[in-house]
Amino acid sequence: MKKVFPVLFLFSFYIINSYRVFSDENPEGHIAYLCGLDIDTYRVHTIELETNVEKELTIGTHHGAPVWSPDGKKIAFSSKMEGGLYIVIWDSVTDKYKVLKHQYSWNDTPSWSADSKYISYISCEKGLTDQKAVVYDIEHEKEEFWGGEKIPSVINPVWFPKLDILNAMSATVSQVTYTEGFDINKFFEEGYSIGVLIGVAVFQSAEKMLTTELVLFSKTQATPLPKELMLESARFEELNPQVSPKGSSLVFETNEAGNREIYYLGRRGISNISNHHLADWNPVWSPNGEWVAFESFRHGRRGIYRVFPETARVFPLVVSGDYDAWSPAWSPDSQWICFVANPSGKPQLYLKHIEEDKIIPLTEKSVSVAPCWRPKTK
Amino acid sequence: MRFRWHKEYILIFLMIGLLVSFFNGYARHEDGTLGIIKLPNEGCPVILSPGQTFNIVAEQKGTIFLIDNEKNIIPLNVQWEEKKTEIYKGSVILMGEDIKAGSYSIQIITEGGAKDVNPRSIWVQNEFREYYTFAHISDIHIRSDSLQDENAITFQTIIEKLNQSDAQFILLTGDLTHEAKTEQWQVFLNILNQARKPTFVCAGNHDRNEDNYEKMFYTSTYAFRYGKDGYIIFDTREYRTADSWGEQDTLLYRYRRELKSSRWTFGITHRYEFTMGIRSQIILFVDDPIDFILYGHTHRENTREESVIPWGKTRVYVVPAEKDGFYRIFDVGEGGLFPRPIQNVKGK
C-alpha cells in the first residue's frame, strides 16, 4: 500500500498539471461562416483563430452556409448570380473562385466527397418537390444527376466516407429488402468507383401528402433504407442523415416518437439516442466519431448537447436560460465546438471546449451564423 | 369628377388623422422609425383584458402609462428584467379602475426624463368571443411619399371600409411598401394609424431595405393570442425563404409550443414556397401542423390545388393584392375558419 501512494500522488499531480495546460490551450485553425446584416447580405467570411485575421468572399450575393473540403483547402457555398443560385468553390491556396456550370437555376446545400474531388448538391427549377441530387466532377467539370428517375425529389444529400455501411447495417437483420428494381451489385460497383450518397427523399404518399424517407443512392441506383432497419419510416418524416466519420453508422432525426428525436443506426440496430419530449434536432458527428452534438429545447431555450451514441448518455454543452445556442461545428481534434448564440441580442459565434464551462466570444459583428471548422490540411 | 371629390375627402381625412396622431403623442422619430419603445407598436400591438399582463421592449427603462382617447393618463405597474442585451424587457400588468375597453397609446417616461409614445398599441377587450371576425389584406405597395399616390388612396379607402366592418382586427401580410424607403414608410404609417382596429403587420420581400423593417416595427417574427386562438407571424423573405441559420426557427418552435393549446392556430406570413427552409416547414406543417396559413405575394387568390400546404394538413388562404382594391374578412368559430367572399373597392 505504501508503494501505491507515491504513484497515486504522482498520477494526480500529472492529471492536475495536464488539466492546467489543457485549460490554457486555445483553439486553432480557421472557421468559415456567414456574416451580414441579414439573409439578403450574408457573405462567407473566414477567420483564423490564432491571429483573428478575417477574409470576406466577395463573389455574388445571398451566400449559403460554407462547407470546407475534407482536405481543408477549399470552401463550397451557394451564391446568387445572374438569375440563379450557383455553387461556388473558393480555393484558399490560390484565392480563386470556380463557379460550377449548372443545368438548373437553383442549386444549394453542397457536400464534399471524402477525397475532395466531387461535390454533391441539390438542383431544381421549382423547389421542394423537384429537387434532384447532383454530383459534380470538379476536375472534369461535369454535372451528373444521380439516383435515376425513382426519386422524385431529394434534400440534403451527403456522402458516405466508406462503403461498408450497408454491410454494417444489414448485419443486424437476417434479410434485407431493397426497393423493386434496385441492383445491389451495380450500386456497389458505382459506389466503389465514385461513392454513395444518402439523402432525404420527399414524395407524395397515397393520401397525396408529402412525406420524407431516407434514401441511399449511387449514380444510377436508389433505394430507401431497407424497411427491416427503419421500422415504419413511410409514416414519419426523417431529416438530416449524418454518416459517422468511419462510415459504419448513421444518425438522423425523425418524428417517429411523436416529437423530433435523434436516432442512431449502427451494427446493433436502431435506437433513439436523444429521447426527450421536447424537440431534438440537427445531429453533428465529432470528427473522432465518439460524440454526436445536437440541439434540444429540453431546458426551455434552444441549447447544444452531446450524446455518446452507444449508450445514449446525453451531456449539456451550451445551455442557458438567458439565450439560445445552435449550429454546433466541431474542431478537427473533437475538443472544441464553435456555435451560434444570441446573448447580445444578435446571433454571434462563440467557442467552447467540450470539457470546460468557459465560453469565448469569436465575432462581434452585425450577424454571424453557420460556422464550419476547417479540417486539418492534408 | 366624383373621383376627384373622393381624393379631396381622403386628403382632409388624412390631415385630421395626422392632427389626431400629433395630439395623441405620436412619437416615432422624424423618419418614422421607432423611438424608445420598440414593442408594442401600432404594427405589433397587444390585445388583452384587464388583469392580464403584456411585455414591453424599450431602449431605456422607465415608468409606463396608458393614454386613452380622451387623453387621460393611466399609470401601470412594470417589472423590468435585468438588462441582458442592448434593450430592456419589461412585464406590465393591466390593472386600474380607469381601464375600459378600447384603444390606448403606451407611453414611457424614462429615468432621464425622456418621453416616448406608441399610439394604437394596447387594445383592451373585456371579453373574447367564441365567434369573431378579422380582415386580411396584403401587398399594399406604397410607392411614393404622396398620400395621393394611387396605392395610398386605395389603402385609405380599404382602411375606411374595414373601420366600418365587424372585423375585430386587421392582418396585413407584407409588401406594405414597394421599396421600403423612408418616405413610403411614413405614408404607410400615416394611413395605418387611421385604423380603428388593431393592425398586425408582417414583412414582405418589398419591405426589405437593409434593416428598415425592423426599425419600423422591431420584429418580423412574433405571436399573439386572440381568445382561444393563436396567431404566429413569421418572415418569408426574398430568395432564401425562411432560412435555417438565424433565430426564426427557434422562435417558430417556441411559439408553436406556446400556442399548442389553442383552438385554432394561424400562420400569418407574406408567402409560402416549396423552397422555404425545411426546418420552418417541419415545425409549422409537419411535426405539429398549424391549422391555417394566410398570405399574399402572388397578387391572386389561391387555386383549388393550392388550398392545402403540400405536407397535407394546413389549409391555405391567399388574398389578392390590396393595391388592386382587394380585401377579405374571415369568420372564426368552433367550426374553423370561414372566408367571406373577397371584396374589391375598385369594382374589379
**pLDDT tens, B172-214?**
999 999 999 999 999 999 999 999 999 999 999 999 888 889 9
Residue ending a domain, among B55, B89, B122, is B122
Cα A22 to Cα A15, A305, A353, A356: the distances in Å are 10, 21, 10, 10
Higher pLDDT, A211 or B92: B92
Q: Does B163 share its domain with B288?
A: yes
B182-192 and B2-23 helices, crossing angle to 10°: 90
B229-256: average pLDDT: 91
Interface test with B, best of A35, A37, A38 (most B CBs within 10 A): A38
Q: What is the pLDDT of residue B6?
A: 54
**What are B249's three cell numbers?**
426557427
pTM recorded for the entire structure: 0.91
A115 domain residue, yes or no: yes
Least confident of A178-192, A229-243, A261-275, A319-333: A229-243
The whole-chain average pLDDT of chain A stands at 87
Contacting residues of A for B238, CB less than 8 Å apart: 40
Burial of B127 (0-12, 13-18, 19+ CB in 10 A): exposed
Residue of A94, A73, A95, A35 lying closest to A374 (CA atoms): A73
**Does residue B81 sit at the A interface (CB-CB below 8 Å)?**
no
Range of the domain at B334: 132-344
Can you give the pLDDT at residue B22?
A: 43
Above 90 in pLDDT, residue B232? yes
Q: Do B311 and A209 touch (CB under 8 A)?
A: yes
Interface-testing mutation among B240, B271, B304, B309, with chain A (most A C-beta atoms within 10 A): B240
Examine residue A163 and state whether it is found in any structural domain, yes or no: yes
Any A CB within 8 A of B278 CB: yes
User: Residue B317: which CATH number?
Assistant: 3.60.21.10
Where helices occur in B145-211 by DSSP H, the ranges are 150-163, 182-192
Q: Are B274 and A344 inside 8 Å of each other by CB? A: no
The yes-or-no verdict on residue A22 having pLDDT over 50 is no
Which among B104, B122, B140 is the end of a domain?
A: B122
Quick one: how many helices (H) and strands (E) in chain B? 6, 19
In a domain? residue A235: yes
Find the CB nearest A126 among B211, B274, B313: B274
Within a domain: residue B127?
no
pLDDT of residue B29: 87
Rounded to an integer, what is the distance from CA A129 to the centroid of its chain? 22
A345–B87 C-beta distance less than 8 A = yes
- Residues B12, B139, single domain; the answer is no
| pLDDT surpassing 80 at residue B234 | yes
All residues of chain B having their beta carbon less than 8 Å from the beta carbon of residue A325 are none
In this predicted structure, the answer to whether residue A104 has a pLDDT above a threshold of 60 is yes
Give domain status of residue A158, yes or no: yes
**Residue A343 touches partner B, C-beta closer than 8 Å:** yes
Residue A18 scores a pLDDT above 50? no
* Contact at CB, A210 and B247, closer than 8 angstroms: no
Give the DSSP per-residue string, B16-45.
Answer: HHHHHHHHTT--S-TTS---SEEESBTTB-
- Terminal Cα-to-Cα distance of chain A (whole angstroms): 49
Sheet with A43-48: strands ordered across: A54-56, A43-48, A30-36, A367-373
Domain count, chain A: 1
Q: What pLDDT score was predicted for residue A169?
A: 59
Distance (Å, rounded) from C-alpha A180 to C-alpha A221? 11
CB pairs under 8 A between A and B: 95
Question: The complex's ipTM?
Answer: 0.90
Res. A21 pLDDT band, cuts 50 70 90: very low
Segment B104-129 shows an average pLDDT of: 95
Whether residue B295 is found in the same domain as residue B324 = yes
Same domain, B181 and B235: yes
Chain B: give the shortest CA distance to residue A14, in Å: 40
B107 and B143 share a domain?
Answer: no
Select from B122, B143, B176 the last residue of a domain: B122
Read off the pLDDT of each residue in A344-350 and give the average, rounded to a whole number: 93
Check if A138 contacts B (Cβ < 8 Å).
no
- Across the interface, do B287 and A237 touch by the CB < 8 Å criterion? yes
* B305 part of contact set with chain A, CB < 8 Å: no
Does A16 fall in a domain? Answer: no
Cβ–Cβ < 8 Å for A124, A208: no
Quick one: which of A135, A128, A179 has its CA closest to A155?
A128
Residue B83 and residue B210 share a domain: no
CA separation for the pair B87, B58 (Å, rounded) = 6
Asked, for residue A9, whether it belongs to a domain, the answer is no
Contact A215, A198 (CB under 8 A): yes
In whole angstroms, what is the distance from residue A76 CA to residue A146 CA?
A: 19
Whether residue A7 is contained in a domain is answered as no
| Substitution target from B282, B283, B307, B314 for chain A, most A beta carbons within 10 A | B282
CATH at A348: 2.120.10.30
Q: Is the pLDDT of residue B104 over 70?
A: yes
B183 and B249 belong to one structural domain: yes
Contact flag B287-A40 (C-beta cutoff 8 Å): no
Rounded to a whole number of angstroms, the distance from the CA of A302 to the nearest CA of chain B is: 7
Determine contact: A297 vs chain B, CB below 8 A.
yes
How far apart (Å, rounded) are the C-alpha atoms in residues B289 and A377? 45
pLDDT confidence tier of residue A14, bands split at 50, 70 and 90: very low
* Residue B318: inside a domain: yes
Q: What is the pLDDT of residue B23?
A: 44
Q: Which of A39, A297, A369 sits opposite B240 (nearest CB)?
A: A39
Please check whether residue B295 lies inside any domain of the structure: yes
Indicate whether B312 belongs to any domain: yes
Statement: residue A173 has pLDDT above 70: no
Residue with cell 392632427: B19
Report the share of chain A in percent with pLDDT over 70: 87
Whether B41 and B141 map to the same domain: the answer is: no
Helices B150-163 and B2-23, interaxial angle, to 10°? 70
- How confident is the model over B160-181, as a mean pLDDT? 97
pLDDT at B85 over 90: no
Of residues A377 and B344, which shows the higher confidence score? B344
Q: Is any Cβ of chain A less than 8 angstroms from the Cβ of B258?
A: no
CATH (domain of B68): 2.60.40
Residues B202 and B62 in one domain: no
Contact A128 B313 (CB under 8 A): no
Contact B282 A64 (CB under 8 A): no
Cα distance from N-terminal residue to C-terminal residue, chain B: 20
B113 and B233 in a single domain? The answer is no
Report the C-alpha gap between B57 and B80 in whole angstroms. 9
Q: Is A312 part of any domain?
A: yes
Q: What is the mean pLDDT of residues B112-140?
A: 96
Asked if residue B279 is part of any domain, the answer here is yes
Q: Does residue B21 belong to any structural domain of this protein?
A: yes
- Most distant CA pair in chain A, distance: 78
Give the three cell numbers for residue B237: 423573405
For chain A, percent of residues with pLDDT exceeding 90: 61
Distance CA A31, CA B243 (A): 21
The β-bridge partners of A134 are A121, A145
Over range B304-309, report the average pLDDT: 93
Residue B48 binned pLDDT confidence (cut-offs 50, 70, 90): very high
Instruction: Count up the domains in chain B and report the number.
Output: 2
Do B96 and B138 lie in one domain? The reply is: no
The number of beta carbons lying within 10 Å of the beta carbon of residue A246 is 14
A279 touches chain B (CB under 8 A): yes
Q: How confident is the model at residue A356 (pLDDT cuts 50, 70, 90)?
A: very high
Structure-block grid coordinates of residue A107: 442549386
Q: Does some domain include residue B91?
A: yes
Average pLDDT for residues B98-108, to the nearest whole number?
94
**A189 vs chain B: nearest CA distance in angstroms?**
33
Nearest chain A residue (CA) to B258: A300
What residues of A are in contact with residue B237 (Cβ under 8 Å)?
38-40
Distance from CA of B208 to the nearest CA of A (A): 9
Instruction: Note which residues in 211-250 of chain A have CB less than 8 A from chain B.
Output: 237, 239
Q: What pLDDT is recorded for position B76?
A: 94
CB pair distance less than 8 Å for B85 and A80: no
Its domain, for residue A86, covers 34-373
Nearest C-alpha of chain A: how many angstroms from B308?
Answer: 10
Is the per-residue pLDDT at B155 higher than 50? Answer: yes
Query: Starting at the edge strand that comes first in sequence, how are the strands of the sheet with B53-58 ordered?
Result: B37-39, B53-58, B88-93, B73-80, B62-67, B102-110, B115-124, B46-48
* Residue A103: pLDDT over 50: yes
Q: A100 pLDDT exceeds 70?
A: yes
Place of cell 474531388: A117
Does the pLDDT value for residue B255 go beyond 90?
Answer: yes
Q: Is residue B63 located within the same domain as residue B89?
A: yes
Whether residue B40 has a cis bond before it, omega within 30° of 0:
yes
DSSP string, A264-282: EEETTEEEESS--SS-EEE
